[in-house]
Structure 1
Amino acid sequence: MSKQEIDNIRIELLKLSDYEELKTIMIAAYPSMPNTYWREAKIEKLISIFPEGQVVVKINNQMAACALSIVVDYNQFGDKHSYQEITSNYTFDTHLSDGDVLYGIEVFVKPEYRGLRLGRRLYNYRKELCEKLNLKSIVFGGRIPNYYKYSDTLSPKEYIEKVKLREIDDPVLNFQMSNDFYPSRIMKGYMEGDSASKDYAVLLKWDNIYYEKPTKSIRTIKPIVRIGLIQWQMRLYKDIEELMQQAEYFIDAVSGYKSDFALFPEFFNAPLMAAFNHLSEPDAIRKLADYTKEIVDRFSQLAISYNINIITGSMPEVIDDLLYNVGYLCHRDGKIDRYEKLHVTPDEKKVWGLKGGSQLKTFNTDCGRIGILICYDSEFPELSRILADEGMKILFIPFLTDTQNGFSRVRHCAQARAIENECYVAIAGSVGNLPKVHNMDIQYAQSMVFTPCDFAFPANGVKAESTPNTEMILIVDVDLDLLKELSQFGSVRNLKDRRLDLFNLTRR
């Protein structure tokens, strides 16, 4: 494209709706590697965890170039690392909002737009972002795609020296050095399958001269998170006022211990169905759904007044005449998020007519990114793996089980989720009985917090557990920094060691 044909040119944050266009230009940018484009789920995660780091250049409203990046704690890696390690096997779990280095993971330009200095625009954007975020430097591994022409006669070091002296033309390396990036070291085996570079790369850096070392540690996410689990006693309440009075009692209690989260069980408000016991089960639970909005509103007020994030367990909700099992995350700053039970049990479907939801997502909180799965959903490992890929560090599971074997399914699946996803998992259930509520006769529960199984954690993977079948609260501290260490230095690294060359898990 000639300059005369350009009406406008601008840099924009990458949006998920741009994906198909992004895929097309990436394939065009790497004609020798047609299958090495980023999948949509990876782009979605990058946008979710670090939107400022993902940018595109648009010319005449058409995408022409793209740059992707993350922020890392560079001390965890040092100068000897591979592309897989720095990206945590392409999951980007190494991204930390309180990291100190902007790491470039991708820059490409559509062939017909080369020569317009779009790469320089993208690099300048990165420099401004680095300064804005007060990061030490920009770092990335630069390919040397012309090296294969000289590999028989020159070592990588000799090749780079000749490029510096302009005795060899390497347009990629020359461009990077002309934009103030300096070679720091040569890395062997940086990017698997880069035959043109003979598996070598040059570690390139740009130092932020305006960087100011914080006088004290500044963290956007607190490292120690305190969780309050409410093992709720099912008992009859004459009305919603009595129910919410009991709920506030527990919120007051866990808040008094300075908990960051309060977790209620699934269908904790089922006692209110006693007033509708003369109706059929499907009609009774739909009447219970009439209380949901008021309960959520009141929980939100309690979250603000008690300065605690409340996970409301779950409640029935009717949308377009369809009955769902849903819950709400009431943040202590007043924000409210909604989650759904995706898999309903055969009994829930047969007796109540419940329908499975379709929303699966992680939630950003002032204590990091969390996930919430309602009871039966914890028994489907794909769900929590998707949440882990999106950065979840704590998984909350409100549940309701009537028998000990039903509880055992939730308990053991929840513990497996903690191990395989390198996260904490908190489960909370109800105890007691409701003889005057059909299909809710008895409950069995033991609320617990699970951890990965490695040296920094309890040997049995159980951080804390309540007394079975007893109304009580359980207060538990979890250390998010231990998860970072596990990801890099654990005895086993379940997320990193996945064979993504053999399988992949994506959303539809």
Structure 2
Amino acid sequence: MYQKEIYVFNEEVLKKAVIRNYTARDFKALIRVQQESFPPPFPSELWWNEKQLTNHVTLFPEGALCCEIDGRIVGSMTGLLVDFDREHPSHTWEEITDSGYIRNHRPDGNTLYVVDICVSPSYRKFGIGKWLMQSMYEVVVRLNVDRLLGGGRMPGYHRHAKDMSASEYIEHVLSGKLKDPVITFLLRCGRTPVYLVENYLEDEESYNYALLMEWKNPFKQIGSNYVICRE
């Protein structure tokens, strides 16, 4: 099981944090974090439910991480193992995560796929998301899989969709001309772009696009980069 203690900072405020695997006793707190992060009008049926969380901790407990500060869970990150085919990268979030139930988890999979990352709004300036991502990279190394992979939303795209295609928007973000709340965050976490996917998830802000982004296991040789953007 995974557990580490770190110190996190919000300007002059210093907090001791614990990142560990979550368990059944944490379910209510994990759902609370989802409620705080995605308040109405976000549909409540899309928050984690106990059946999904039960599958996370039973099918792949190594991929179920949370962050705790002052005895309070303030963030979580969940993954599953899949056998990613680099020649056929297109997929939807529902397909590859089993709509968050992860019953398609492959213990022999070559890729740790991100199902979800979530941090309570009042703790986001502490860099919890980046620490959770770093911790999941450590899981990639320990399990000796090829990569961490996930689809990054593009919530800034709706402001530019009338003026540019989705791939042009991504090129502007990658060149530094634009910043996207999610894609730029993932770049800062060390993720690199792989493939632009249409109809990844119903998401008006992203026009249903997502950018697949990976972190390659630095201790494995897994070939060259993929096509970054294709429509």
- TM bucket (normalised to shorter chain) is 0.7 to 0.9
Partner of 1:101: 111
Does the 8 Å contact 1:143/1:200 carry over to 2? yes
List structure 1 runs of 4+ shifted beyond 4 angstroms.
1-7
Partner of 1:10: 18
Q: Secondary structure at the match of 2:149?
A: strand
Q: Which whole-Å CA distance do the structure 2 matches of 1:2 and 1:49 have between them?
A: 35
Does the 8 Å contact 2:56/2:101 carry over to 1? no
Q: Which whole-Å CA distance do the structure 1 matches of 2:211 and 2:190 have between them?
A: 14
Shift of 1:211: 2.3
1:40 to 1:76, Cα distance in 2 relative to 1, 3 A: farther
Shift of 1:90: 3.6
Q: Which whole-Å CA distance do the structure 1 matches of 2:196 and 2:53 have between them?
A: 28
Q: Which whole-Å CA distance do the structure 1 matches of 2:89 and 2:10 have between them?
A: 40
The equivalent position to 1:149 in structure 2, one of 152, 159, 165, is: 159
Shift of 1:139: 0.6
Shift of 1:165: 2.1
1:58 to 1:4, Cα distance in 2 relative to 1, 3 A: farther
Structure 2 counterpart of 1:175, one-letter code: F
Structure 2 counterpart of 1:209, one-letter code: P
1:152 to 1:7, Cα distance in 2 relative to 1, 3 A: closer
2:82 is aligned with 1:91: no
Q: Which whole-Å CA distance do the structure 1 matches of 2:86 and 2:55 have between them?
A: 22
2:52 is aligned with 1:25: no
| Structure showing greater relative contact order (alpha-carbon pairs closer than 8 Å, 6 or more residues apart) | 2
Summarize deviations over 1:184-228 as a string: whole Å, max 9, x none.
Answer: 11111101x211111010011111121278xxxxxxxxxxxxxxx
Shift of 1:88: 2.8
2:50 is aligned with 1:55: no
Q: Which whole-Å CA distance do the structure 2 matches of 1:208 and 1:46 have between them?
A: 23
The equivalent position to 2:217 in structure 1, one of 196, 208, 219, is: 208
Partner of 1:43: 53
Structure 2 counterpart of 1:208, one-letter code: N
Q: Which whole-Å CA distance do the structure 2 matches of 1:212 and 1:180 have between them?
A: 17
1:34 to 1:92, Cα distance in 2 relative to 1, 3 A: same
Structure 1 counterpart of 2:216, one-letter code: D
Partner of 1:70: 80
Structure 2 counterpart of 1:211, one-letter code: K
Partner of 2:182: 172
Summarize deviations over 1:288-323 as a string: whole Å, max 9, x none.
Answer: xxxxxxxxxxxxxxxxxxxxxxxxxxxxxxxxxxxx
The equivalent position to 1:161 in structure 2, one of 165, 171, 187, is: 171
Structure 1 counterpart of 2:113, one-letter code: Y
Does the 8 Å contact 1:134/1:212 carry over to 2? no
Q: Which whole-Å CA distance do the structure 1 matches of 2:48 and 2:99 have between them?
A: 13
Q: Secondary structure at the match of 2:108?
A: coil
Does the 8 Å contact 1:77/1:86 carry over to 2? no
Q: Which whole-Å CA distance do the structure 2 matches of 1:7 and 1:205 have between them?
A: 29
Shift of 1:171: 2.2
2:179 is aligned with 1:198: no
Q: Which whole-Å CA distance do the structure 1 matches of 2:145 and 2:98 have between them?
A: 21
Q: Secondary structure at the match of 1:10?
A: strand
Q: Which runs of 5+ in 2 are unaligned?
A: 1-8, 223-231
Shift of 1:177: 0.9
Q: Which whole-Å CA distance do the structure 1 matches of 2:185 and 2:144 have between them?
A: 25
Shift of 1:174: 0.7
Summarize deviations over 1:265-305 as a string: whole Å, max 9, x none.
Answer: xxxxxxxxxxxxxxxxxxxxxxxxxxxxxxxxxxxxxxxxx
Structure 2 counterpart of 1:10, one-letter code: V
Shift of 1:178: 1.6
1:181 to 1:114, Cα distance in 2 relative to 1, 3 A: same
Q: Which whole-Å CA distance do the structure 2 matches of 1:197 and 1:137 have between them?
A: 25
Q: Which whole-Å CA distance do the structure 1 matches of 2:84 and 2:120 have between them?
A: 31
TM-score, structure 2 length as denominator? 0.85
Does the 8 Å contact 1:140/1:205 carry over to 2? yes
Q: Which runs of 5+ in 1 are unaligned?
A: 214-508
Structure 2 counterpart of 1:194, one-letter code: D
The equivalent position to 1:112 in structure 2, one of 91, 109, 122, is: 122
Structure 2 counterpart of 1:170, one-letter code: D
Does the 8 Å contact 2:100/2:115 carry over to 1? no
Q: Secondary structure at the match of 1:87?
A: helix
Shift of 1:78: 3.4
Shift of 1:74: 1.3
Structure 2 counterpart of 1:33, one-letter code: F
Q: Secondary structure at the match of 2:67?
A: strand
Does the 8 Å contact 1:6/1:60 carry over to 2? no
1:3 to 1:47, Cα distance in 2 relative to 1, 3 A: farther
Structure 1 counterpart of 2:18, one-letter code: R
The equivalent position to 1:124 in structure 2, one of 122, 130, 134, is: 134
Aligned residues: 212
Structure 2 counterpart of 1:124, one-letter code: Q
TM-score, structure 1 length as denominator? 0.40
